Amino acid sequence: MEGDLAMAKIPEDKMRAMIFEILNMERKNLRSKAKTDQRMSEEIQKLIITYSKMRF
Amino acid sequence: MKFKSIRMKNFMRYKGENTIEFSCDRKKNVTVVLGDNTVGKTTIAQAFRFGLYGAISTDRRKSEDDYLLLNNDVLAMMDANSRADVLVEIVATDEEKTYTIMRQIYYTRAFPQMIAREASKKVTLHISENDGANADIEVDANKVEEVVNELFPKDLSHYFLFDGERWNDVTIGGVRENIKDSVHILTGLSSYQKAMWHLKDMGSNSVIRKFKGKISGNGNMYDNLEAEREQMERSIEKCQEDIKVIDINLQNCDRKIRELEQQLEENRQTEEMQKKYKNLCTVRRSQAEHAQAEYRMLVNDFSDKAYMLLAKPMIKASLEMVKSVAGERRDIPHMHQDSIDYILRTGHCICGTKILPDSPEFECLIEQRNYLPPADIGSLLGEFERTAKRWNNRSGEAKSDFLQDAEKADASVRQYEDTCNEIALLERQMDERIDFGEIRRRIRQYRDESQRFSNQKGELQGRIEALKRQIEKTESDMRAQEAVSEENKKWRERVELAEAVYERMNHDFAEKEQKIFAELNQQIQSNFSRMFNAKDKRIELDKNYNIQMLYQTENGYREEKNLSEGEKIARNFAFIVTIMEYSRKRKAQNVGKDDVASDTLPIVLDGPFSKLGDENIKLIAKVLPEVSEQVIIFMLRKDWEYTGLDEFVGAYYSIDKDADKAYASVRKTGGVE
C-alpha cells in the first residue's frame, strides 16, 4: 500500500472487507472444490475490479 | 463440525444395515457405544476411517489386503453369480452445511473359495445448505478426497479418530503426519495460502499476471520486454514444477528414513540381542581356546608327574626292602662291568695310564669289576635310591597341582558351556535375519539423496528469486514504455490494488501463523500439566508442529526422545485436546468478525483409556466434553463407570453379538431423542 501508486489509497475498512470476501470465497471452495484454480482467479479478478471502481 | 450419523452395511463384523445417530446436543455432546471385548467396537472406528479416507487402519504387520471389508457371513451366503456391497455413509454438519460422504464397494465371490473380489467401487460427497437456500451440490468424484481432507484433515485423523491401543505410534501407515498444514486448515490459514496462490503465486493465470497482461505499450520495445517477461515467467513455472517433483522425492526419502528408523526403533531389542550374540560368539571362541589350554596343561602335568605319585607307595616299600637286604654295599655310582671291560680292551685308563695284563693297575681294575653290575647290584641300588629320592621330591606337590589344574579346566569348560547356553537362548529369542547394518546403510543412502534433493531445490528457489528480480526490472522498463491511456491507467490501478491485497495477506498470514503457534504452544503446556500433573516435564511444539517432550535437567529443559508408552500417550492426548480447544475458542472469538472462520473437529475415541490409570482416566475424560464440540467413545462396558461422563452423554448405544453368530449389531439404549 505504500509507494508511488497510481490508484488512490484504499481505506482500511474497504481493504479488510475485500480480504474477508476473498478468504471466504477461498474457504468455501476449499470445502467443495466446485471451482478450478483458473475460475477462482477469475472470481478474484472480478472482485478486485469491483473494488477498484469504487471511488475512495 | 459434528458427525450426525454413520450408516454401515455389511461392513466387516456388521451384517446388514446398522446406523448410529450421534448426539449433536451442545451440552450433552457425548455419544457412547458400549460393548464387550471383541464384539466390534474397533470396527465402527474403522468404518469412520474407511468412510472418510477410503482406507482402514491396519496393524503394522498386516497390509490392507489382509482385511476383508465384506462381512464374512454375507460372503458365505454368496454363490459364483451373486454380488454384495459394503457401504459406509457418514453425515457431518457445521453451522452452514451438511456433508454426506458415501463409499460403496461391490464384491463378487471366487466360488467355492471364501474369497471376495472387488468388482466396483464409488465415492460420493453431497453438500446441502442447512437453511435450504441453494440447491445441493455433488462434489466431483476426483475432488472428494481433497474436500474431505479440508473438512477432516487426514494428517490429524490419527488424533481425532483415536485408537487407544495404538495411539502411542507417531505414524499412520509409516507416514508421519504433516501437522502444520492440518493446523493451517483448522485455523483458516489455508484460505490465506490459497488466496495468495490465486493472486500471484500460480503464475500466468494469477490475478496479478492477468491484470498486467491487459496493459498495452508503445512500439516494439514494449513488445520485446513483454515477450522477455513471459519467457521468464515460463521459466519460473518450470522451476516450480521441478520443485514439486523434488518435494515428492523429498517426501519419499523422508518417509523411507522414518520407516527405517521406525524399524530400528521397533527392533531395538533384537539389535541389542544381535550385538550381544556377536560378542558372546567371540567370548565363546576365546573360552574354548582357554578351556583347551587348561586341559592340555592338566594332561601335560599328569603325564609329567603322575607316575612318580602313583609309584610312591611302591618306592617306599622297595627302599625299605633294599635297606633290609643290602644295607652294606659298595656303591660305585654310574659304573658298569662293561666300563672296566672297555678300558681293559683299549689297554689305557681314562687317565692315560697304560694297562698291561698282570700289572697292578690291571689287577686293581679286575677287583673293582667284581663290585660292579651285573655281578654286583650295589651301584644299581644306589641309582635306584637316588632316583626314588628325586621322584619323592618332585611328586610332593603333584596331587594338589593336579587338583588345581583340574579345577581350572573344569571352570573354563563350565564358562564355555554357560556361554553356549546363553547363545542357544538368544538364538531362540532373536530374529537373526534382520540386517541392521544394511538398514543403517539405507538410512545413510536416503539421507544423502535427501540432501541432494534439498540442494537442487535450493538452487531452483534461488533461480526463481533471481528471475523474479529480473521480472521486476523488466516490468519497470515496461512501465516506462506503457502507452498513456485511460485504459492502461485503469489496469495499472487494478494491478496495484491486487498487489496491495497480496502484500497485506502475506503479512497477515505470517503474523497469524506466529500468533497461533505461540498460543498453541502455551496452551499445550497448560493442558499437559492439567491432565497429567507432570512437574518435571514439559511439552512443546517445534516449528513443524512436532511434539517434543522436555525433561528438567541441571542445565534447563532438554528434549527426551526415548519416551515410555505412557509418556507418548500423555503427549498425544495433550496435543489433540489443545488443538480441539484452540480451534473451538478461535471459532467462538471470530463469530461476527471479519476474519476467516476457524473449524472444529469432533473426536472419535476407540478404547481411549485402555492404557491409562484410573486417576488419569477421570482427569482426561472430564476435559473431553469441554474442549471438543462432540465426543464419540467406543469402550468396554466394564470401564465406563470410571469415566464419570454420564452427565454429558446425549446418546447411549450397545453392541450386541450372540455367541453362536459371527456378526454383531448396534442398538440404541438411551439418551436424548
Q: Which residues contact B530 (CB under 8 A, 6 or more apart)?
A: B619, B623
Q: What is the pLDDT of residue B657?
A: 83
Query: Does B198 contact A26 at a Cβ distance shorter than 8 Å?
Result: yes
Cβ–Cβ of A15/B211 closer than 8 Å? no
| pLDDT at B495 > cutoff 70 | yes
Contact at CB, B494 and A49, closer than 8 angstroms: yes
Q: Does A31 reach chain B within 8 Å, measured CB to CB?
A: yes
Q: What is the pLDDT of residues B215-257, one digit of tens each?
A: 888 788 888 998 999 899 899 989 999 999 999 999 899 889 9
pLDDT digit string, tens, across residues B597-616: 777 889 898 887 777 777 77
Residue B175 has pLDDT above 50, yes or no: no
> Which of B161-175, B556-570, B577-591 is the most confident on average?
B577-591
Report how far apart, in Å, the C-alpha atoms of B513 and of each of A25, A29, B157, B184, B507 are: 20, 21, 22, 8, 10
Three-state DSSP at B208 gives helix
User: Interface of chain B against chain A, CB under 8 Å?
Assistant: 97, 127, 137, 139-140, 143, 146-147, 150-151, 185, 188, 190-192, 194-195, 197-199, 202, 205-207, 210-211, 489-490, 492-494, 496-498, 500-501, 503-505, 508, 594-597
- Measured between beta carbons, the chain A residues lying within 8 angstroms of B503 are 1
What does each C-alpha distance from B32 to B38, B44, B466, B549 come to in angstroms? 17, 12, 58, 31
User: When comparing pLDDT for B536 and B84, which is higher?
Assistant: B84
Q: So what's the ipTM on this one?
A: 0.91
CA distance B191 to chain A (A): 5
Amino acid B194: pLDDT = 95
Residue B370: band (very low, low, confident or very high) from pLDDT cuts 50, 70, 90: confident
The pLDDT of residue B102 = 96
Residue B367's pLDDT band, with cuts at 50, 70 and 90, is confident
What pLDDT score was predicted for residue B185? 85
- For B489, the closest of A1, A6, A32 (CB atoms) is A6
Give the CB-side neighbour count of residue B208, counting CA atoms within 13 A.
20
A55 close to B (CB below 8 A): no
Output the pLDDT for position B672.
57
User: What share of chain B in percent tops pLDDT 90?
Assistant: 40
| Residues from chain B contacting residue A37 (CB–CB below 8 Å) | 197-198, 202, 205
Nearest to B518 by CA among B545, B538, B536: B545
The average pLDDT across B469-497 equals 89
> What rounded mean pLDDT belongs to chain B?
86
Give the confidence band of B208 by pLDDT, cuts at 50, 70, 90.
Answer: very high
Residue among B190, B210, B508 whose CB faces A45 most closely: B210
When pLDDT is cut at 50, 70 and 90, the band that residue B180 belongs to is: confident
Confidence of residue B403 (pLDDT cuts 50, 70, 90): very high
Q: Would you place residue B106 in the very low, low, confident or very high pLDDT band (cuts 50, 70, 90)?
A: very high
Does A7 contact chain B (CB < 8 Å)? yes
pLDDT band at residue B419 using 50, 70 and 90 as cut-offs: very high
Instruction: Kindly indicate the confidence band of residue B9, based on its pLDDT and cuts at 50, 70 and 90.
Output: very high
What whole-number distance in Å separates Cα of residue B457 and Cα of residue B467? 15
Q: Is the pLDDT of residue A2 over 50?
A: no
CB B302 within 8 A of CB B294: no
Q: Residue B673's pLDDT band (boundaries 50, 70, 90)?
A: very low
State pLDDT tens for residues B337-359.
Answer: 898 999 999 999 888 889 988 89
Report the pLDDT value the prediction gives residue B375, as an integer from 0 to 100. 75
Chain A hits for B494, CB-CB cut-off 8 Å, are 48-49, 52
**In A, which residues are within 8 Å of B146 by CB distance?**
33
* Mean of pLDDT values over B171-197: 76
Compute the average pLDDT of residues B556-579. 79
Residue B110 exposure: Cα atoms within 13 Å on the Cβ side: 6
B278-318 pLDDT, tens digit each: 999 999 999 999 999 999 999 999 999 899 989 988 988 98
B191, B472, B489, B505: best to mutate for the A interface, most A CBs within 10 A: B191
CB contacts of A40 in chain B (<8 Å) are: 194, 198
- Mark yes or no for CB contact B191/A26 under 8 Å: yes
Contact: A10, B497; criterion CB under 8 Å: yes
pLDDT at residue B555 in the model: 81
Q: How many helices (H) and strands (E) would you count in chain A?
A: 2, 0
How confident is the model at residue A7, as a pLDDT? Answer: 54
Beta bridge partners of B92: B3, B99
Closest-CA distance, A55 to chain B, in angstroms, reads: 12
Q: What residues of chain A lie within 8 A of the CB of B139, using their CB?
A: 32-34
Provide the grid cell at B475. Answer: 516490468
At CA B502, angle to CA B156 and CA B224, rounded to 5? 125
Instruction: Spell out the SS3 assignment of B166-198.
Output: CCCCCEECCEECCHHHHHHHHCCHHHHHHHHHH
Q: Is A33 on the interface with B (CB under 8 A)?
A: yes
B70: which strand partners? B11
The three cell numbers of residue B534 are 507432570
- Which of A7, A15, A42, A51 to mutate to test binding with chain B, by most B CBs within 10 Å of its CB? A7
Name the residue facing A16 among B493, B503, B594 (closest C-beta): B594
Three-state secondary-structure class, residue B137: strand
Residues B114-161 have pLDDT tens digits of 888 989 999 999 999 988 877 788 999 999 999 998 899 887 787 788
Q: Tell me whether residues A34 and B210 touch, CB distance under 8 A.
A: no
**B140·A33 Cβ contact <8 A:** yes
Q: Is the pLDDT of residue B433 over 50?
A: yes
If we measure between CA atoms, which residue out of B3, B111, B25, B94 comes closest to residue B671? B25
Smallest Cβ–Cβ distance between B198 and the set A1, A44, A52 belongs to: A44
Closest alpha carbon to A22 in B510, B516, B194: B194
Q: What angle, 0 to 180 degrees and rounded to 10, lies between the N-to-C axes of helices B179-186 and B565-590?
A: 30
**Under a CB-based contact definition with an 8 Å cutoff, are residues B653 and B668 in contact?**
yes
Q: What is the b/e burial string over B46-66, where b = at least 16 CB atoms within 10 angstroms of the residue's CB?
A: bbbbbbbbbebbbeeeeeeee
Task: Give A36's contacts (C-beta < 8 A, 6+ positions apart).
Answer: none
Q: Determine the pLDDT at residue B134.
A: 79
What pLDDT digit, counting tens, does each position of B522-541 carry? 988 888 887 777 778 888 88
- Quote the CA–CA distance of B492 and B498 in Å, as a whole number: 10
Residue B498 with chain A: CB contacts under 8 Å? 44, 48
- Rounded CA separation B597/B602 (Å): 17
**B254 vs chain A: nearest CA distance in angstroms?**
27
Q: Is the pLDDT of residue B624 over 80?
A: yes
The tens digit of pLDDT for each residue in A7-52 reads 557 888 899 999 999 999 999 899 888 899 999 999 999 999 999 9
Rounded CA separation B617/B291 (Å):
59
B382-389 average pLDDT score: 86
Do residues B66 and B115 touch, judged by C-beta distance below 8 A? no
CB distance B195–A17 less than 8 Å?
no
Q: Are the beta carbons of A26 and B195 separated by less than 8 Å?
A: yes
Supply B19's cell numbers: 446406523
Residue range B54-71: mean pLDDT, rounded: 71
Chain A interface, best mutation among B494, B503, B587, B595, by max A CB count within 10 A: B494
| Long-range CB contacts (within 8 A, 24+) of B214-218 | B214/B487, B214/B491, B215/B478, B215/B482, B215/B488, B215/B491, B215/B492, B215/B495, B216/B482, B216/B483, B216/B485, B216/B487, B216/B488, B217/B478, B217/B481, B217/B482, B217/B483, B218/B481, B218/B482, B218/B483
Is a pLDDT exceeding 90 seen at residue B500?
yes
Checking if the pLDDT of B172 tops 60, the result is no
Residue B632 distance to chain A (closest CA, Å):
23
**Which cell numbers hold the place of B171?**
505414524
Helix (H, G, I), strand (E, B) or coil at B104: strand
Sheet holding B116-129, edge to edge: B17-21, B2-9, B83-93, B97-109, B116-129, B137-138
Judged by CB atoms closer than 8 Å, whether chains meet at A20 and B127 is answered as no
Task: Tell whether the model's pLDDT for residue B71 goes beyond 60.
Answer: yes
Q: What is the pLDDT of residue B243?
A: 94
Residue among A20, A31, A34 minimizing CB distance to B594:
A20
Residues of A in contact with B587 (CB under 8 A): none
